[in-house]
């Protein structure tokens, strides 16, 4: 199998290099054409982020837009004269118009939320777009219409919608209510969990709808041709075109290889993109024409150019004496001078990933990993970059990471993606397995200064890490700790007498980070020293004041001799017998420590990190910097060296320190009583990148990452090599980094699993021009802008700002805003246009109760950049109050936005404040996941154990005090996934109550093991998967089904009703009728006899 997996490299690379030599215009046709649109005389499509038009046969293509930002979603007006599209100019997706024969784009929307064009009204007077601008929660949006003469967008309906199209008379709206699982960065073909949207046909005038006959598949892209509705569906395992007419469904196309990605209709013709080419179907004649389109564009993104490699840095290391810093970044290896000299790129190979660079002990050589040829190898080179030797990691597929180069220069330690740590001898090229980790947390390790010992940590079956040492000369391993503590960050002393490490005895509750119960659990580490020799002494013994024999001998021979070489490090001897009794606790407070290292001065340096849950900063996040501390070996005291650093390491001689700070900046300081860091100049850490070569490497590495990290080595039986070969020919047609992401997402989508994503990288980024928001619903009524609703947020949260909701602002709901900064608003204006570049700046609003100038007044406010949190809390509070009202105060309500820190915070705030309720509704709709929410189910499942009564006071206490013992239900939907799948699964399995709503997303495969892509792009490979106590793979691509299926009925949503919430209340009230309370509100009668 291993040889088969490796056999693709040579032929595939040769094929790609042959394709690479062809300029795009020199190929027979151009592929990677997306998002086609069609009119009477033209077609439009997107290539490399620009919009093109051509005639109906695909001839005479012309580029319509050329801005570096992404332009997408073109749609012809009914008369074909104008194209509406979405563009990311100024850092935000907004709606624009352009003449179909060319011209200057004209902007229609200014709201800072994303606005994506979905079509036109039948008369061509307005453009319809989807936007989440007024969403209180969730992953969908609403449909809006904006007049082609600009003006204020109006919401089509309150019901959620992701895309839609009106029929010819504008009475019926065919639409998709929510997104699919295969979208954007997420590659997931043939999803069969809860996110399989139907097509609904809404009669807006009657507020009624019907559903197009639907299977457990994704139906998208509705298009009207007369009274017939066409749409795309993957119900036969490949996305094909279907027709709905007279109540019946007919499959129109029969593709089995490539999905139809998107389609558009005009009159009786449908244009669609399939296999990255375009086709036109005549629905009357049932004939299909493939359009052979040849474009010769100028593509700025493929021009070779220098790139700042510090933006994609992967490792850094000081040279042995601290004169240079070795930096791996953007697939290149650089040496950067601390003072004298110039920056060198010692690899200079665009399209090859070189990384994990290590200095040799003397600093005269460099080791690094290279994937030249498609296989990772270990290379040795001189400082200048001249290659000296190449070593193989073996003939098995894996991803490798260099860890250490031993002080005797004989060995290099590395690990692989199979969790194995190895050592390779540089003289014999032989590899020796050291140990294998139990989970994907990797190894923390350190070398002795004589080069013969490796100290490392390894997880036990109890999730706690033990400390081990491995001797290279004997190939033997010794375990130093007993499994009753969590041990980390080993560091040898330079005299070879001690092994320092950090250890925690309270880390058990936080040892498995997947569990939500680990949130805000402080880990307190003490610092310890292992006395390595049986006759060794504690480092804490009191000073005798006598001259030591070693020092007297040194004084006798200490002659100034600048030519004398450095003394070799003392030989390290470790006596196994009784070593557990030779562990000494250092007198330091127990806190959250990391990155231990011993400097040349003999002192122990380490970082003190902020404890989990200790603080929330003004940006709304926990503090993520650390302080550099020193344990003074002489005074036996802890000293603060520097504050707010992010990383710390020492040169091999221990005399220089490399300090990392925010935004990938570094400073270097001599190790001294007082550190005086100086900036490391990284301005010349730049790589000359040929994008086409780099994109080939990224494409191959994305494929390899799936091979090396996917939880099932057999990839569910998929021929992964064949998939690579299927998608590889399209690579030569890629014209932008964004298109490369799209191509890779389609490739990994063939695996048909969740959490499989590719995103980011060196894509074009616009400098954002922020548009301010007022935290309010603004409506256009009778030609004036009315403050329809003001969002106040939670006054308990200092990080939520409500511009109009603060006391003393002087604006009320119903007021008219008639001017902004003195500029009068008129009916045809777009309200948000007047708030460009106003975020955080004081502006004046002229407001009036009746809209007249006579009663107008001016108020000063500061607009905010985002009001989604305000809307979310308003929705939550509205639901809580509604539940309280409908249940007459009997039922509490808790909303969970995710199962990470946000969900933890929301649950703690809302649940414990309502433990006086008799029952509880847990709402996890649109839950974004995160961790396995065992903490929540643990709290919800608490049993009544005891009551307590004080002498005075009416309140009877209980143990556990914080519990709801009455009925509970959970509301779920198709947008709740990952941890939002596990929560209802566990809620149901534990018998806590009924699930109400719709089947959840269905994604229970975990991520976060593989490395990033060469240019900083992200990839999440699913590397561990959930199975049930019944020993079954479940939930993934299935979801968790409700006990009571309740659709979020759009007609009721349009009336302001929430059918799922209302059903939850009625169900709990019904259960309360027969529920017998288990908690006693009163104590028993006081005893009347002694001894009772």
Catalytic residue numbers read: 755, 978, 1036
Using CA atoms, how far residue 886 sits from 363, 627, 893, 907, 1043, in Å, is: 74, 52, 12, 22, 22
What are φ and ψ of residue 690, in 5° steps? -95, 105
Report how far residue 801's alpha carbon sits from residue 620's, in angstroms, rounded to the nearest whole number. Answer: 12
Residue 823, Cβ density class (10 Å: 0-12 exposed, 13-18 middle, ≥19 buried)? exposed
527/372 Cα distance (integer angstroms): 43
User: Which single residue is written with the structure tokens 């040492």?
Assistant: 469
Local structure of residue 310 (DSSP, 8 states):
G
Report the SS3 class of residue 447: strand
Structure-block tokens of residue 92: 């935000």
Whether the CB-CB separation of 818 and 851 falls below 8 Å is answered with yes
Distance CA 730, CA 277 (A): 10
Contacts of 560 (CB under 8 A, 6+ apart): none
* Inter-CA distances, 760 with 35, 312, 744, 763, Å: 21, 12, 12, 7
Are the CB atoms for 874 and 791 separated by under 8 Å?
A: yes
Residues 6+ apart with CB under 8 A from 1070: none
Total residue count of the chain as it appears in this document:
1092
Residue 379 phi, psi (nearest 5): -115, 140
Structure tokens at 361: 């002990």
Beta strands in 451-551 (DSSP E): 453-459, 465-471, 476-479, 486-492, 498-504, 525-531
H helices present in 952-1085, as ranges: 979-989, 1050-1054, 1059-1072
In degrees, rounded to 5, the angle at the alpha carbon of residue 517 between the alpha carbons of residues 514 and 519 is: 85
Rg (CA), the chain: 33
CB of 414 within 8 A of CB of 422? yes
List b or e across 583-603, with b for residues whose CB sees 16 or more CB atoms inside 10 angstroms.
Answer: bbebebebbbbbbbbbbebeb
Q: Is 1066 left (phi over 0), alpha (psi -120 to 50) or beta?
A: alpha
- Sign of the Cα torsion 975, 977, 979, 981 reads positive
CA distance linking residue 166 with residue 1085, whole number of Å: 72
Phi, psi (rounded to 5 degrees) for 150: 75, -145
* Residues 380 and 409 sit within 8 Å (Cβ to Cβ): no
């Amino acid at each position: 199998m291993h040889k088969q997996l490796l056999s693709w490299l040579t032929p595939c690379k040769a094929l790609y290099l042959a394709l690479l030599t062809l300029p795009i215009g020199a190929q027979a046709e151009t592929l990677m054409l997306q998002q086609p649109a069609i009119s009477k005389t033209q077609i439009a499509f997107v290539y490399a982020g620009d919009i093109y038009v051509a005639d109906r046969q695909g001839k005479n293509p012309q580029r319509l837009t050329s801005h570096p930002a992404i332009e997408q979603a073109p749609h012809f007006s009914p008369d074909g004269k104008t194209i509406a599209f979405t563009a990311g100019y100024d850092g935000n997706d907004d709606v624009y118009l352009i003449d179909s024969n060319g011209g200057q784009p004209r902007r229609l929307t200014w709201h800072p939320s994303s606005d994506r064009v979905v079509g036109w009204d039948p008369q061509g007077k307005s453009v319809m777009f989807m936007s989440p601008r007024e969403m209180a929660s969730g992953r969908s949006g609403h449909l809006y219409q904006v007049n082609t003469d600009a003006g204020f967008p109006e919401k089509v309906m309150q019901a959620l919608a992701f895309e839609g199209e009106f029929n010819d008379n504008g009475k019926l709206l065919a639409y998709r209510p929510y997104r699919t699982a295969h979208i954007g960065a997420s590659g997931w073909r043939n999803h069969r969990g809860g996110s399989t949207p139907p097509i609904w046909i809404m009669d807006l005038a009657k507020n009624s709808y019907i559903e197009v006959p639907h299977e457990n598949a994704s139906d998208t892209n509705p298009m009207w041709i007369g009274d017939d509705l066409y749409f795309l569906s993957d119900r036969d395992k490949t996305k094909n075109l279907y027709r709905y007419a007279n109540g019946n469904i007919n499959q129109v196309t029969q593709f089995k290889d490539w999905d139809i990605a998107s389609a558009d209709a005009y009159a009786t013709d449908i244009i669609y993109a399939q296999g990255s080419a375009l086709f036109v179907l005549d629905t009357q004649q049932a004939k299909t024409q493939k359009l052979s389109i040849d474009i010769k564009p100028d593509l700025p993104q493929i021009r070779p150019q220098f790139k700042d490699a510090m933006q994609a840095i992967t490792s850094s290391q000081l040279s042995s004496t601290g004169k240079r810093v070795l930096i791996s970044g953007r697939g290149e290896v650089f040496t950067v001078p601390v003072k004298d000299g110039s920056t060198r790129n010692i690899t200079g190979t665009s399209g090859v990933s070189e990384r994990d660079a290590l200095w040799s002990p003397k600093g005269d050589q460099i080791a690094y990993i290279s994937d030249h040829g498609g296989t990772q190898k270990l290379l040795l080179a001189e400082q200048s970059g001249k290659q000296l030797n190449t070593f193989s990691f073996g003939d098995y597929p894996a991803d490798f990471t260099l860890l250490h180069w031993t002080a005797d220069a004989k060995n290099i330690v590395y690990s692989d993606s199979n969790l194995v740590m190895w050592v390779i001898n540089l003289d014999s090229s032989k590899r020796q397995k050291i140990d294998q980790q139990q989970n994907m947390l990797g190894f923390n390790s350190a070398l002795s200064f004589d080069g013969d010992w490796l100290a490392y940590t390894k997880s036990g079956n109890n999730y706690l890490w033990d400390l081990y040492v491995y001797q290279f000369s004997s190939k033997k391993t010794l375990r130093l700790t007993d499994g009753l503590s969590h041990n980390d960050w080993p560091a040898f002393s330079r005299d070879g007498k001690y092994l320092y490490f950090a250890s925690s005895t309270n880390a058990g509750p936080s040892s498995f980070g997947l569990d939500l119960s680990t949130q805000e659990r402080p880990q307190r580490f003490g610092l310890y020293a292992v006395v390595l020799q049986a006759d060794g002494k504690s480092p804490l013994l009191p000073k005798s004041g006598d001259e030591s024999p070693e020092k007297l001998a040194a004084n006798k021979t200490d002659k100034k001799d600048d030519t004398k070489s450095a003394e070799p490090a003392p030989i390290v001897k470790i006596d196994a017998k009784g070593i557990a009794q030779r562990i000494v606790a250092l007198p330091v407070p127990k806190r959250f420590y990391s990155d231990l290292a011993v400097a040349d001065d003999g002192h122990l340096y380490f970082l003190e990190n902020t404890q989990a849950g200790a603080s929330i900063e003004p940006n709304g996040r926990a503090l993520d910097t650390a302080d550099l501390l020193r344990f003074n070996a002489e005074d036996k005291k802890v000293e603060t060296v520097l504050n707010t650093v992010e990383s710390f390491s020492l040169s091999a001689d221990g005399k220089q320190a490399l300090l990392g700070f925010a935004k990938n900046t570094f400073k270097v300081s001599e190790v001294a009583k007082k550190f005086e860091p100086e900036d490391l100049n990284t301005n010349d850490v730049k790589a000359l990148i040929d994008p086409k070569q780099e994109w080939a490497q990224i494409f191959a590495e994305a494929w390899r990452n799936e091979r090396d990290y996917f939880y099932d080595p057999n990839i569910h039986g998929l021929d992964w090599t064949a998939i690579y070969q299927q998608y590889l020919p399209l690579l030569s047609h890629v014209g932008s980094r964004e298109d490369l992401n799209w191509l890779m997402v389609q490739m990994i989508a063939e695996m048909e699993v969740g959490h499989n994503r590719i995103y980011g990288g060196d894509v074009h980024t616009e400098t954002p021009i922020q548009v301010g928001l007022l935290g309010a619903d603004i409506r256009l009524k009778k030609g004036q802008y009315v403050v329809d609703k003001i969002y106040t947020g939670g006054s308990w949260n200092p990080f939520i700002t409500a511009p109009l909701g603060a006391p003393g602002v002087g604006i009320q709901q119903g007021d008219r805003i008639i001017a902004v900064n003195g500029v009068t608003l008129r009916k045809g204006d777009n309200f948000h246009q007047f708030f460009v570049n106003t975020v955080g700046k004081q502006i004046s609003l002229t407001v009036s109760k009746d809209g007249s100038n006579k009663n107008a007044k001016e108020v000063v406010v500061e607009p905010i950049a985002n009001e989604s949190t305000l809307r979310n809390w308003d929705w939550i509070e509205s639901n809580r109050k509604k539940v309280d009202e409908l249940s007459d105060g009997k039922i509490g309500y808790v909303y969970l936005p995710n199962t990470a820190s946000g969900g933890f915070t929301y649950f703690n705030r809302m649940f414990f404040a309502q433990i006086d309720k008799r029952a509880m509704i847990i709402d996890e709709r649109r839950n974004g996941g995160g961790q396995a929410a065992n903490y929540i189910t643990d709290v919800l499942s608490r049993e009544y154990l005891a009551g307590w009564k004080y002498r005075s006071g009416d309140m009877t206490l209980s143990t556990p005090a914080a519990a709801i013992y009455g009925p509970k239900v959970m509301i779920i939907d198709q947008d709740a996934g990952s941890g939002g799948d596990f929560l209802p699964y566990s809620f149901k399995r534990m018998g806590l109550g009924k699930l109400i709503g719709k089947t959840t997303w269905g994604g229970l495969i975990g991520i976060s093991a593989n490395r990033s892509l060469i240019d900083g792009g992200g990839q999440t490979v699913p590397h561990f998967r959930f199975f049930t106590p019944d020993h079954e793979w479940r939930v993934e691509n299935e979801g968790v089904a409700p006990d009571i299926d309740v659709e979020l009925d759009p007609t009721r949503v349009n009336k302001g009703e929430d059918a799922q919430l209302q059903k939850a209340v009625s169900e709990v009230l019904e259960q309360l009728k027969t529920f017998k309370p288990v908690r006693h509100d009163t104590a028993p009668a006081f005893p009347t006899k002694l001894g009772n």
